[in-house]
Structure 1
Amino acid sequence: MEDLFYNNPDQVKKIVEEFGDAVLPMKKADQPFFSKYRVFNYKEELENAEPFGYAAQNPADFIANFASYFEDAVNWDSTGVLYNVHPNVNVYGQVASFLAGFANPNFAQDISSGKLMLIEKQLIEYFASLARWDVAQAGGIFTFGGKGTNLYGLKIALDKTFPNLREQGLQGKIKVISNDLGHPCHVEVCNWAGIGIENCIRLKTENTTVPVELFRETFEEIVKNGEKLPLIILNGLSTLNHAIDNIKGIAEARDEIVARYKLDYVPHIHIDSVLGWVYLLLARYDFDTNPLNIKPDVLAVMKKKYLLMANVVYADSFGADFHKTGFCGYSSSLFMAKDKRPLLNIERSYHEDSSLEFSKYSPYSYSLELSRSPHGPVSAYATLKTMGIEGFVQILAALTESFRYMKDVFHNQDHTEVLNYDEDSNLLFFVFKPRKDIVFTEGMNPELVEDIKAFNTGFYQFLIHKLEKGEANIFFSCSRSHKYLGQSFGSIKVYSWNANFNVEEAKKVTNHINKLFQEYIQGFEATKDYNIFDFLDVKGAK
């Protein structure tokens, strides 16, 4: 039994090596999965799973059994994996998190975590400075994911709007403003908070962003109806097109309406920047001297995104997912607030000042989670320190150039239509044309639209079929909900946030996709529905 608990460093090194020998050889650079892809049935697998026994299992047998569960696990280190915003992980971040676990800290209180919790404080101050907020006044907390950051934003917004909320609960008519390109969790947090999903207003975007005038009209209508608007959620790099809303314009319109109608509250503006936070790092890059010699057109796109994200200075809070665009393992999410007081005061029992000493730092007193893993802060800290601003800038430049290359390739082919060619986004939406003479316009014949959708979802089925046979080295998604010119075409979605992705890898991807397409049109009929599409389809996003 004593061998199951810590004895000395050599013991840990030996166990790690044994696990690594069993698992890591499955992780091949040119393969998108740890194994050949297989659609398994959960009921059958549970029935055949090795049972839990009364006696302890031999460690070697356990490791072998454990390794079998990596079947179908995605190999995010493969540059052929182009599925959603999901990075390969910085190994220093992963190992630092693993070792932090040997202290078994609960990041709810520093007394059980030691100086490790100082890491969280350092990150909060760092991101407050990147946002150009008053570092002494700002605050933040790591939480369970992007949905958690939005939930914190909503909670603080409600507390500010309804000072007696903690005692009396929700009262009156409440609205939350989001938009039609916002993440589905904007609606979901309204459900979790008891506001109701019908009270989450999804404003229609124009050219991928919320029109300030439409926001103004909507807010005024809410006021005239005797309703309250605690929260405004804006996009800080939306999932499907990397758009950043006009934060400054919305903030100014909000303030004008609050003053005009003499409201007794100010709606809280939260930026859902769980993807876009990474562009705040460019505040430390010298665009004028351009020390990394980034190509001018690529540099212009990066600078544009930084300047848009820099307007977070006008917001009240924002979120950052390091497990998305920060090369950390799941999950590592930071909620940041310009004014820390509403955050610390959620339970009316906690206060911090500049004299804070060890044993008195206690997120336990205000956080949603009373049991908090060290993984989020530790992995983010290690990744930011080992990569530096320079590393992130290099990767952002490579991704920007690579996706522009792929858009150009598919745009210039006569058998493909790029659906987001004019967007400065590091993702690609395109469709294959059943006929080369098809011209995409608004109001297309519905039957033709369905033909195109069937043709492309069929191609995706073909890809999964090839993966099952071990004959494909790429993996991406197909979206039945993504719209172009008001229609859904079953678009192919190519998305990478791999630190090793560059133009050379993009060339391999485009060639592989086109090769698969040539095989597909020779004749393929799916024998089963693999039902693997875009995650937003699963969410029922519109």
Structure 2
Amino acid sequence: MKSNASRLKTTHKDIEDLLLLNNINPYLNKTIKLELKMIKETLQDTNIDNIKPEILEYLVSKYTQYLLPNSGLGNTFLNLSENLFKSLALLRKNANFTACIDSKIDCELNLKEIPQQGISIETVIHHIIIKYLSDVPNYSSNYVPLNVIPPSLIPSILAKFACAIINPNLAYESYAGKAIEAEQLAISHIAKIIGFEPEKALGYFTSGGSSGNYWAIRCALEKAFPGWGKKGFKSFLDKEPVIIQSILGHYTNINAARLLGIGTDNVITVPTKQNFGICLKAFKLQMEKAIKDKKQVICIYLIAGCTDSFGVDDIKGVFDIREELCQKYSISKPHLHVDAAVGWIYGIFKNYSVNDNPLGFDLETIATIKSLNNLYSNLRYADSVIVDPHKHGFTSYTSSALIFKNKKDLLLLQKDLEETPYFTEDSFCSFPGAYTPETSRPADGPLMLLSNLYALGYEGYQTIIGYAIQQTNALKSKLEFNFSKSLQILNKDVPGTSTIWRFYPNGTDREKAHTRELFGTTQEDALFIQQINEYNYRLFLEAKSLRGNKTPILGYSNQVIIGKSGIPISGWKCIIFHPLVDINSIISHLINVFNNEN
């Protein structure tokens, strides 16, 4: 058998013969002539002696070990996985942050440059993976109630791990297999939880709540201006599109208005009440004014679980006003979108018997559950809802879904067949890539949620979230008891697992001070708010400096609510997703901080 070198030499001779033929035959195809010339030049630059197939075979063998075998997982992967898990166990110490593991790096490993030759996977585990997962808040522990980030439950972690191995792409059925069915099933379950009819609803998992909100507004544009996707700005030259939301609406909608060409000036904000819900009277005035000004309200954006306070807009009240004004002025109905990224999961309590109370919650928690059922039953009035299982669904990032009550709304976003020439094997109308913005979507979002839903069931979710609510109510009571003259809870009557509060210096009447912050309108009132904001942030920084490695990490928000002065009111926050957060430790820590300052 000829060696590669001898074969190359033979090829070289054949090409010379062809070029000679080319000189004889002037009618030889010009393209062939050019290719032959390029091949000859390449071969002239090639040192035949440097062609060493045994080296290439060795390197192929070396680096293809990083591929999984055709079946099973292989010993290499299993052994390395065990190595990784042992390292992760060391990383996750019993503390509020992951350990700072910065092993001594081999002198030949320069992390500022990609190595010319690959390093061992064991080295990658210790010097890359573990190194850069150090000093992260230990979200799976009970020390991190600082924000709406939950501990990931084991079923969802396993689902994410499995998806990384199998690697399905939900944008296209041929690439996703049965994972497509997992998404459809997850959407159906979510629809039932939030009060939509699963048979009529349709949705998909996306890359986060921001993406879902953006795409809901994109749908609103298509409903208001049919053909907008093709015609663009020309389709609404005669009317100015506007979005109406509360002043506490998520900033992603401002960005969506910017990206979609609506313009940030065309986002109309409405004041909120003390319960953080939109003021219906002000909303009606703003919507009616927009209609009279010949503007087209394309989307009404509401919140069901504000990120900090967990406040809920009056969805039914806004729905009724929309119906009234649209009938009065004979105009099309704007799309009603609800951001329930935080609060969607509270729908699990709809089937909980508060009279029998089978899980044994205390009376205050039962009252909270009743309040949640009253508020979140109104999600059914929305046209679309965004949910984040990576919050109260206890999955890892990212698991978010956008759901439309009427599947016809989602189909307004469907692309033309000509736009997707790559997808030819499946029926065009069935593959998700026809209507989703992404053409690459992992399956871990729906599979993580399904794994948790089936592993916990209604009882499991009701137990974990119900106990977290009970802990939150207890924290509010303990804060008021221990700081009776110096602390005001800002969301005392808002049901859920969030506690927002604000300290006032000794000698200040906290109730009068907070009333002044909410309703004061003078320059002096605005200055007073700023001074108390600065006081609280100084205390918060002091709390960080005094925090031990087992002290729960608390959060802080620069804008919890905005009073009549227009100045944002800041506050501390504790959001209990992990039901075993030590609230007594929080109280002790805050007492220490407050006494140090005063």
What TM bracket, shorter-length normalisation? 0.7 to 0.9
Contact in 2 for aligned 1:130/1:280 (Cα 8 Å): yes
CA distance in 2, matches of 1:37, 1:311: 48
| 1:393 aligns to 2:467 (yes or no) | no
Q: Give 1:328's match in structure 2, choosing from 376, 395, 410.
A: 395
Residue in structure 2 matching 1:27, options 70, 88, 92 = 92
Instruction: Confirm whether residue 227 of structure 1 aligns to residue 303 of structure 2.
Output: no
Report if aligned partners of 1:466, 1:472 keep a CA contact under 8 Å in 2.
no
- CA separation in 2, counterparts of 1:375 and 1:489? 38
- State the SS of the aligned residue for 1:201: strand
Counterparts of residues 127-276 of structure 1 (less than 5 Å): 127-170=190-233, 171=236, 172-207=239-274, 208-263=276-331, 265-276=332-343
| CA–CA distance in structure 1, aligned partners of residues 324 and 442 of structure 2 | 42
* 1:297-340 deviations in Å (ceiling 9; x for gaps): 21121121122211121111101101111101111001010111
Residues 220/382 of structure 1: CA separation in 2 closer, same or farther (3 Å cut): same
8 A Cα contact 2:101 2:131, kept in partner: no
- How far the C-alpha of 1:500 sits from its partner, in A, is 3.3
Q: Residue 371 of structure 1 corresponds to which residue in structure 2?
A: 440
Instruction: Name which one, 1 or 2, has greater alpha-carbon Rg.
Output: 2
- Residues in 2 aligned to 1:231 and 1:493: alpha-carbon distance in whole angstroms: 30
User: Which string of whole-angstrom CA distances, capped at 9 and with x for unpartnered residues, describes residues 198-257 of structure 1?
Assistant: 111111112322233332222222221111111101111112322222212211221122
Task: Tell me how far apart the structure 1 counterparts of residues 337 and 587 of structure 2 sit (CA, whole Å).
Answer: 38
Note if contact 2:90-2:99 (Cα within 8 Å) is conserved in structure 1. no
Q: How does 1:301-340 map to 2 (within 5 A)?
A: 301-340=368-407
**Residues 423 and 346 of structure 1: CA distance in aligned 2, closer, same or farther (over 3 Å):** closer
SS in 2 for 1:480: strand
CA distance in 1, matches of 2:367, 2:91: 40
**Offset at residue 273 of structure 1 (A):** 0.6
Identify the residue that residue 479 of structure 1 maps to in structure 2: 557
Which of 487, 493, 497 pairs up with 2:573?
493
How is 1:261-300 mapped onto 2 (pairs within 5 angstroms)?
261-263=329-331, 265-300=332-367
Deviation (angstroms), 1:32: 1.1
Distance 1:126 1:237 in 2: 20
Q: What letter corresponds to residue 215 of structure 2 in structure 1?
A: Y
Deviations 1:418-462 (A, max 9, x none): 232343342222233432454424047666655543433222222
The 1:246/1:483 distance shift into structure 2, 3 A limit, reads closer
Shift of the alpha carbon at 1:484? Answer: 7.3
**Alpha-carbon offset, residue 345 of structure 1:** 3.5
The structure in which a higher percent of residues are helix is: 2
Of 55, 67, 73, which residue of structure 1 is paired with 2:117?
Answer: 55
Q: 1:83, CA displacement in angstroms?
A: 1.2
- 1:165-202 CA-to-partner distances (Å, cap 9, x unmatched) read 12211323011011112211122211121111111111
Cα 1:482–1:37 change in 2 (3 A) is farther
- Is 1:507 the counterpart of 2:576? The answer is no
Q: 1:457 to 1:369 in 2, by over 3 A?
A: same
SS at match of 2:127: helix
Kindly indicate whether residue 510 of structure 2 is the aligned counterpart of residue 432 of structure 1: no
Check the 8 A contact 2:302/2:338 in 1, yes or no: yes
TM-score, normalised with respect to structure 2: 0.78
Partner of 1:529: none
User: In structure 2, what is the equivalent of residue 417 of structure 1?
Assistant: 487
Which amino acid in the other structure matches residue 416 of structure 1? S
Structure with bigger RCO (C-alpha 8 Å, 6+ apart): 1
Kept in 1, the 8 Å contact 2:368–2:495? The answer is yes
CA distance in 1 between partners of 2:170 and 2:67 (Å): 22
Cα distance in 2, alignment partners of residues 115 and 94 from structure 1: 19
Q: 1:430 to 1:243 in 2, by over 3 A?
A: closer
Shift, 1:57, TM fit = 0.7
Per-residue CA deviation, residues 344-402 of structure 1 (Å, 9 max, x unaligned), is 2313548xxxxxxx944311111100110112111111111112111111122212221
Q: Does 1:102 align with 2:169?
A: no
Worse overlay, 456-465 or 441-450: 441-450
1:381 aligns with 2:450: yes
For structure 2, list consecutive stretches of 5 or more residues without a partner in the other structure. Answer: 1-62, 103-108, 418-424
SS at match of 1:242: coil
Could you give the per-residue CA deviations for residues 278-304 of structure 1, whole angstroms, max 9, x where no partner exists? 111222322332211222221121121
Q: Which deviations, in whole Å up to 9, do the C-alpha atoms of 1:96-115 show, x marking residues without a partner? A: 12112222211101111111
Distance 1:291 1:199, change over 3 A: same
CA separation of 1:448 and 1:348: change in aligned 2, threshold 3 A: closer
SS at match of 1:61: helix
Instruction: Write the letter of the residue equivalent to 2:264.
Output: I
Change (3 A) 1:380 1:230: same
Counterpart of 2:501 in structure 1: which amino acid?
F
| C-alpha contact 2:242 2:267 (8 A) present in aligned 1 | yes
- Shift in CA distance, 209/455, structure 1 to aligned 2, threshold 3 Å: closer
For 2:578 and 2:101, locate their aligned partners in 1 and report how far apart those are by CA, in whole Å.
21
Whether 1:18 and 2:89 are equivalent positions in the alignment is no
**Closer/same/farther in 2, CA of residues 211 and 430 from structure 1, 3 Å limit:** closer
Q: Residues 151 and 512 (structure 1 numbering): CA distance in 2 closer, same or farther, change over 3 Å?
A: same
Distance 2:326 2:291 in 1: 9
Q: 1:212, 1:250 within 8 Å by CA — same for their partners in 2? A: yes
1:351-370 mapped onto 2 (5 Å cutoff): 359-360=426-427, 361-370=430-439
Identity %: 23
Cα distance, 1:472 vs structure 2: 5.7
Please tell me the residue identity of whatever aligns with 2:597. Answer: I
